A and B are shown apart, each in its own frame.
Chain A
Amino acid sequence: KAGVTQTPRYLIKTRGQQVTLSCSPISGHRSVSWYQQTPGQGLQFLFEYFSETQRNKGNFPGRFSGRQFSNSRSEMNVSTLELGDSALYLCASTPAAGVNTEAFFGQGTRLTVV
C-alpha cells in the first residue's frame, strides 16, 4: 500500500501570496488531519476532515482553510501569507472515524515565506 503523499515537498512563497498544499491519504483511509510544525510551537493541529466534512478545527486564523474531496484527498490553503507561516506542514490519515487509531503521516511540505 502506498503511504500518505504530500505535494509539493518544498515551497517558497512571498508574503501576501496564497498557497495550496495537497495530501493523498492511504487508500481506504477516510480521515485526513493537518498539522503545522515549527521549532518554537512544535506540532499544532490545524483541522481534520472526514467524508468531505471538517470535523475538528484547531486555533488558527481564518486564513487557513481546507477541504476534502470524495476520493479522500485533501488540500489546505493559506491566504495572505505571513512570515510566521513558514513551517513544515504535515498531513496524516487514519482509517475511520470514532476509532482511537494511530495516524499515518506524510513526509510534509516545507513552506518558506519570504
Chain B
Amino acid sequence: AQTVTQSQPEMSVQEAETVTLSCTYDTSESDYYLFWYKQPPSRQMILVIRQEAYKQQNATENRFSVNFQKAAKSFSLKISDSQLGDAAMYFCAYRRGNNDMRFGAGTRLTVKP
C-alpha cells in the first residue's frame, strides 16, 4: 500500500527566509504523481505544485520548488522568500492512475514577521 509520511508536524520560518518541508512515500510503482497542497485557515485545499514521477527535472512554481529524489522516495518542498500568506498546513500527496490520492499527516508552517 502506498503511504506518505511527513515527519515535521510543525515548522517555523522568518519572513523572507527559505524553508524546506519534508515528505517521503512508499510505493512499488514507477509511474505516479506527487503533489503539495496548502490548506490555509479558510480550509480550502490549494494545489501548490505537482511532480510527475517520470520527469527527472524538479518542478518549480514561482517561489515554490521541489527536490524530487525518486530512488530515495523523497519529495521535499522549498519555499523561498517566505511571505506571511504562506502560513498554512501543507500536505504532501501521492496519486497513481485511478487510485485515490494518499495524503501525509501535514506540516503546519508558521511565518514570523
Contact = CB atoms under 8 A, between A and B. Distances in A.
Interface in B55-113: 91, 95-106
A42 B104 CA distance: 8
Interface residues of B, number: 26
B45 A97 contact: no
A45 B98 contact: no
A50 B98 CA distance: 10
Interface in A32-62: 33, 35, 42-43, 45, 48, 50, 55-56, 58
B99 to A, nearest CB: 7
Contacts of A21: none
Interface in A69-103: 88, 90, 92, 97-98, 100-103
Given A42-B106, A104-B47, A98 B98 contact: yes
A7 interface: no
Given A43-B91, A48-B100, A56-B100, A100 B42 contact: no
Q: Point out which of B37, B47, B101, B102 has the most chain A C-beta atoms below 10 A from its C-beta.
A: B101
Contact of B100 (A58, A88, A100, A107): A58
Contacts of A42: 103-106
Interface string B2-32: 0000000000000000000000000000011
A98 B100 contact: no
Given A50-B98, A98-B98, A101-B33, 5 more contacts: A42-B103, A56-B99, A97-B98, A98-B97, A100-B97
Interface of B: 31-33, 35, 37, 42-47, 50, 52, 91, 95-106
21 contacts: A33-B101, A43-B103, A43-B106, A45-B100, A45-B101, A45-B102, A50-B98, A56-B98, A88-B43, A92-B45, A92-B101, A100-B31, A100-B33, A102-B47, A102-B50, A105-B44, A105-B46, A107-B42, A107-B44, A108-B43, A110-B43
